[in-house]
Structure 1
């Protein structure tokens, strides 16, 4: 629901300004779609941490999904704020991955969720 509101806000802002070209609209929508995919992956990561004792592979799969979406987003942006948000999220994901690989079944994912929130803000501003 939140991601739909974000997407709608971006589309509305672009439509109202009329000053943005089609390429910028496509880029903004790609950013929102990717941010939505990342938000979904972060939600899965949060759920995986909660159930890690039942299925620890879910942590790795959620981290892999976030990495994939971050790679897609990083390859398509030249925005400095967005690049920083992607880098911050990548660092958070790597820290969680390292914790999991070192046997921590309940790693601290707050840096990941904070960075994902910031990425969502960048995509909608």
Structure 2
């Protein structure tokens, strides 16, 4: 009889802990998933930027469109995070995007996108589950 009571108590405790964890962790899980999705979108946009920069002499609008997409994703990510490491990576990526945009606007056919790719990699690391 005592064994059944211990089992019921253990099951009740486990259920309560799972419920508490689910309630408390749901917001954090949503943020983490948003971070991963946005990091993936940023990685895609950075890939598009790399492709556009390699053919910038043919069409600079593709690079501008890729930069615009990165800007949109950064805004989304910055609005959904309070993680200091992620905020720093977002700031670094934004600075890199600004530098690439300035280079393109000043006529540089092959701007250095290394700061953009480095910061995007850092965002990917911070957002990894």
Normalising by the residue count of structure 1, what TM-score does the alignment of the two structures yield? 0.83
**Count of matched residue positions in the alignment of Structure 1 and Structure 2:** 109
Rg comparison, structure with higher value: 2
Structure 2 matches for 1:105-116, cutoff 5 A? 105-116=109-120
Moved more, 50-59 or 29-38: 50-59
Aligned residue number for residue 67 of structure 1: 71
Residue 26 of structure 1, CA deviation: 0.6
Structure 2: tracts of 5 or more residues without a match: 1-20
Cα deviation code 1:64-97 (max 9, x no counterpart)? 0000000000011111111000000000000000
Superposed CA deviations along residues 27-63 of structure 1, whole A, max 9, x for unmatched, are 0000000000000000000000111122110010000
> C-alpha root-mean-square deviation of aligned residues, in Å?
1.7
Mind listing any 5+ residue stretches in structure 1 that lack a counterpart?
A: 1-16
With structure 2 as the length reference, what TM-score do the two structures score? 0.80
- Deviating 4+ runs (over 4 angstroms): none
